[in-house]
Amino acid sequence: MKFQVLLIFPLIFLLMQFPTGFADLELLTNNKIFSEGQPLFIYGKGLPNENLIIRLLTPDETIAKFDQIATNDDGTFEYVLLHWPKTSNDFPFGTYTIELLSSDQPGLQKTLDVKFLSTSELIDIPVERQVNTLVVAPETAAINQPFRVFVQTTSDGLLVGNNPTQFLDNTHVHLPSGISVPLSNSFKTLHTGLSFVDYTPKEEGTHVFHVVASVQGTTSHGSAATSILSQDLGGISEQIVNLNSILNATSTELDVLKSEIKGFDNTLEQSSEKIDESTEDIATSIEFIGEASTQLNSLMFPIIASIGIIVALQITIIARRR
């Protein structure tokens, strides 16, 4: 019995700390689209005399305004959060998020998106974030050689996202074999909104990187494909350089051979000319020999004739003596 009483007292104390009947937060604004100089008026309802924290987040998720207020006795509140200033790096045009957090109800939170534009006309513009995801990957790479894939995430043109493991939690790569490999835990932050992953392919073929970015409840998709080869372009380029070197050396040798052949042609031409000259000299010599032979015949003919006459006279004398 004493033990039960001891348990009841702490429970009563806790009930006294909080009003009975927890109420959900309600957050509203006087408009959805604002321009320079206009007030951003918020109102709503929570618990009576509840402490509320109000934050205004820019399109790149930085805190532009931070305030703390308390609700009225009936739980309602009204508050002018700010008058929109002139556009700047701190207050760019785009989609802003109003966050309302309860200090008395831990974990309870309300958000509301509004537009900050250059026009003051209340035109029909959807109040939603324009989240874009850009994936940059090399067109070709080599198997078992690491390369880097970059991801850029913007909201209304501004870089957003600080922790890639949270807003890129569904990112993966499709392999040529047909399976998908998650990459969300492999990303690192290069800058706000800029992330990268070092990836080493184990298969040849086309690898498709599918990036899914989630910013303030808005999802954006981006993809890029890389063709994995047996070797990268650097190795192919080196082989081409070596081939060009060999071709240059061969071309040099051919020029030398051409020069030598040209000299050989000159030698052959000179030899041919000398042979022609020698042939002419031989022909002239033969002609001279023919003339000499004719002259010799003309000289020898009388001598032979005289010898014949002498021989005939001797034969006649010998015949008479007998």
Convert the pLDDT of each residue in 15-26 to its tens digit.
444 444 445 788
User: Residue 123 has what pLDDT?
Assistant: 52
Over residues 178-202, mean pLDDT: 88
Tokens representing 260 are: 């030598």
Give phi and psi for 235, each to the nearest 5: -65, -40
User: Residue 67 has what pLDDT?
Assistant: 92
Over residues 130-156, mean pLDDT: 88
Per-residue pLDDT reduced to its tens digit, 239-292: 677 777 787 878 787 877 777 676 666 666 776 777 777 777 777 777 777 776
In terms of DSSP bridges, do strands 205-215 and 194-199 run parallel, antiparallel, or are they unpaired? unpaired
Closest CA to 194 of 225, 156, 163: 163
With a cut of 70, say whether residue 309 has pLDDT above it. Answer: yes
Threshold 0.75, pTM exceeds: no
d(CA 65, CA 54): 8
User: Residue 279 has what pLDDT?
Assistant: 74
Q: Where are the alpha helices (DSSP H) in the chain?
A: 2-17, 164-167, 233-321
Sort residue 74 into left (φ over 0), alpha (ψ -120 to 50) or beta. Answer: alpha
Give phi and psi for 201, each to the nearest 5: -75, 145
The full DSSP string for 69-107 is EE--TTSEEEEEEEE-----SSS-SEEEEEEEEESSSTT
User: Residue 1 has what pLDDT?
Assistant: 47
> Beta-carbon neighbour count of residue 94 at 10 Å?
19
Torsion of Cα atoms, 247 then 253 then 254 then 258, to 10°: 160
Higher local confidence (pLDDT), 16 or 215: 215
pLDDT tier for residue 61 given thresholds of 50, 70 and 90: confident
Closest CA to 67 of 78, 75, 183: 78
Cβ-contact 186, 172 below 8 angstroms: no
Highest averaged pLDDT of the listed ranges 58-72, 125-139, 262-276:
58-72
User: Residue 54 has what pLDDT?
Assistant: 93
Cβ-contact 99, 57 below 8 angstroms: yes
Over residues 136-155, mean pLDDT: 90
d(CA 186, CA 73): 50
With a cut of 70, say whether residue 28 has pLDDT above it. Answer: yes
